[in-house]
Amino acid sequence: MIKSVRAAVTAALAAPLLAVAFAAPANAAAEDVNLTADVQGNDVWVTITNDNPSLIGCEWLAWAGDDVDDEPQVLVRTLVLPLGGESRTAADLPDGDYKISWWCTTIPASDEEWGTGDIGGGGDTADPTPVTTPVPVDDEGTDTGSLGSLGSSESGSLGSLGSSESGSTDSGSTTSGSTTSGSTTSPSLGDS
């Protein structure tokens, strides 16, 4: 009798634990994990931001055509630290129009998922992100993509300063936290 009572109590206590262990992934808060894309020429820079308290593993796929399986161009996998962590990865794509699909999941438990829902395990929290390469160039030969030129030719401003009698500084362009730096030339002490 005691054995059957123990078995019944053990089964009653184990059932909820087993249900939790084998439950489907919980619905993730869509705003916890986000993907943004910036284009510089033919380079597509993808930033994944993680505001979730867990480490996440992510993958993103750039594709052309009408369906994610039609013309995949590149697949990138990355880890993103929790609570404000970011991963910034890039891929060089041929000229064209693309969509970026993505999927992220918590590690190691895989109990929350985010993404476009068309690759990986699921996580339908966002739409694919459209990008076009190369970024159109204006009449002065500079990218017209993110942020554009941040400065003027006046001393002390950000951006491309051009050349002057006292030397020149070319800071390149700034896009979503990355800076491409040029060169700095200073006049020699004997020049006036």
Q: What is the pLDDT of residues 10-65, one digit of tens each?
A: 445 444 433 333 344 455 799 999 999 999 999 999 999 999 999 999 999 999 98
pLDDT above 60: residue 190? no
Over its C-alpha atoms, the chain yields an Rg (Å, rounded) of 25
What lies within 8 Å, CB to CB, of 98 at 6+ separation is 44, 62, 63, 64, 73, 130, 131, 132, 133
Which tokens belong to 185? 């030339």
How far is residue 77's CA from residue 160's CA, in Å, rounded to a whole number? 34
Range 103-125 burial, b when 16+ CB lie within 10 A, else e: bbbbeeeeebbbbbbbbbebbeb
What lies within 8 Å, CB to CB, of 122 at 6+ separation is 25, 103, 113, 115
How far is residue 157's CA from residue 90's CA, in Å, rounded to a whole number? 29
pLDDT above 80: residue 103? yes
CATH fold of 26-133: Immunoglobulin-like (2.60.40)
Is the pTM for the entire model greater than 0.75?
A: no
What residues does CATH 2.60.40.10 cover in the chain? 26-133
Per-residue pLDDT reduced to its tens digit, 156-173: 333 333 333 333 223 233
pLDDT above 80: residue 72? yes
How far is residue 59's CA from residue 147's CA, in Å, rounded to a whole number? 26
Per-residue pLDDT reduced to its tens digit, 114-166: 999 999 887 899 999 999 999 876 667 565 554 433 333 333 333 333 333 33
How far is residue 50's CA from residue 171's CA, in Å, rounded to a whole number? 30
Which tokens belong to 113? 């998922």
Measured from the Cβ of residue 66, the count of other Cβ atoms closer than 10 Å reads 9
